[in-house]
Structure 1
Amino acid sequence: MSAETSSAGQASAGSRVRNRLIGLTAAAVVAAATWAIGNAAGAELTVKQNGVTEITLAGAIVSTLMAGLAGWGLLALLERFTARGRQIWTYVACAVLLLSLLPTLLADATIGTRLTLTAMHLMVGAVLIPSFRRVAREA
């Protein structure tokens, strides 16, 4: 392998990491903005489940980052070990997004809280899925 080929491969991996970090950051910003809008609109942002759980701004951001990093890790594994990593990852990511809506819809919470959480899940998915998919390595 020539030095040029090796550098091109490194640049490609570097830009993939940079673009995924941008997508992850954008998703965290979208989660924070959705939380802030729900909070400003008067949503209680608490869920009664084994006691009362308050959905804080920090919690929304950390949850988004953790989900995004988990998705990134799965995508990296699929890219490395399968020929159709991007396609498989997209199906899994969409399924996880849909499944993540169930607890928000069934939670013992106010309508405003449910709407805010549902919007947050959908907005984060709308940022993460296309941004990770767009830069996924081709087979």
Structure 2
Amino acid sequence: MSNDVKTSRGVTGQRLVTILVAAAATAVVWVIVHLVFGVELSAQSGGTVQTVGLVAVILATLVAGFVAWGLLVLLQRFTKAPARNFLIVSAIGLLLSLGGPAGGETTGAKVGLAVLHLVAALVLVPGLARTAEKP
């Protein structure tokens, strides 16, 4: 087996683990916010109130992780500084995503939802960025 294949498998494994750890971390935060502090995580969306449950949190984190992975692959293919560009785009994405928690029904929901976004980003962004190919 060539080193490229081993390296590729290693990077793939690291990225998968990063995404799974992010999903686990947001699940733990949801449990703490919802079950320990008793905060109902709900937000207005399109004029209706939607409850943000544990499964939705895990799925959203997984989707965000795989989208971020795809972005990193594109940046590696088309830019000279993929890790730096990934960090910049991710920071902008995080700032934009924090608009979602602003629709929380209560202050506790707003804080809890914002913490979920931050935890996902704090795991996904550095975890994926460190796997970027070095120039």
Do Structure 1 and Structure 2 share a fold, with TM-score over 0.5? yes
Counterpart pick for 2:66 among 65, 69, 81:
69
Distance 1:87 1:26 in 2: 22
Counterpart pick for 2:9 among 5, 8, 14:
14
Residue 103 of structure 1: how far off its partner (Å): 2.2
Q: Are the equivalent residues in 1 in contact too, given 2:41–2:51 (CA < 8 A)? A: yes
Q: Among all aligned residue pairs of Structure 1 and Structure 2, give the percentage whose two residues are the same amino acid.
A: 32
Distance 1:64 1:31 in 2: 7
Counterpart pick for 1:25 among 20, 23, 29:
20
Show structure 1 runs of 4+ deviating over 3 A: none
> TM-score, with normalisation over the residues of structure 2?
0.94
Counterpart pick for 1:124 among 103, 117, 120:
120
Residue 125 of structure 1: how far off its partner (Å): 0.4
Cα distance per residue 1:73-102 (max 9 Å; x no partner): 010011112211111111001110111112
- Segments of 5+ residues of structure 1 without an aligned counterpart are none
Distance 1:74 1:117 in 2: 24
Q: Are the equivalent residues in 2 in contact too, given 1:104–1:118 (CA < 8 A)? A: yes
Counterpart pick for 2:77 among 73, 76, 80:
80
**Larger-Rg structure:** 1
RMSD (Å) for aligned C-alpha atoms? 1.2
AA aligned opposite 2:11: R
Cα distance per residue 1:40-68 (max 9 Å; x no partner): 11111111332111101000010011111
Alignment partner of 1:102: what SS? coil
Residue 108 of structure 1: how far off its partner (Å): 4.5
- Segments of 5+ residues of structure 2 without an aligned counterpart are none
